[in-house]
Amino acid sequence: MFYRLFLLLAILFEVTGTISMKYASIHGYQLGHLIMYVMITFSYICLAIAIKRIPIGIAYALWEGIGTVFIIFFSIILFNDPMSFQKILGLIIIFASIALIESGEKTTAKES
């Protein structure tokens, strides 16, 4: 549970950093770039802690997959990015992949 918390924090820091980068790029807000650097650094630190107990393949897939879903969600809300059929299909595939990864991890843990 402790390491999953760090994985969740890594995802939140990654999403915050990426959204800050987009905001700074649009508005020329230099503090946004500083926030991006700090958040991405924290994200990698938390990910490094998480992979002490979570297999790196699973942790990285969840970090990127869940992060991508949140980044797309917030980019639609905050930056009016368009939502196409391809994005919807991609999100469905990401959700299915995350579900498969999680179910595979639970099966492996029970077998151990």
In this predicted structure, the answer to whether residue 1 has a pLDDT above a threshold of 90 is no
Using an 8 Å Cβ cutoff, are 32 and 24 in contact? Answer: yes
50-68 b/e (C-beta count within 10 Å ≥ 16 → b) = bbeebeeebbbbbbebbbb
In this predicted structure, the answer to whether residue 112 has a pLDDT above a threshold of 70 is no
Question: In terms of pTM, does the model score above 0.95?
Answer: no
Using an 8 Å Cβ cutoff, are 100 and 92 in contact? Answer: no
- What is the structure's pLDDT at 60? 92
- What is the structure's pLDDT at 106? 65
In this predicted structure, the answer to whether residue 111 has a pLDDT above a threshold of 80 is no
Average pLDDT, integer, range 83-93: 92
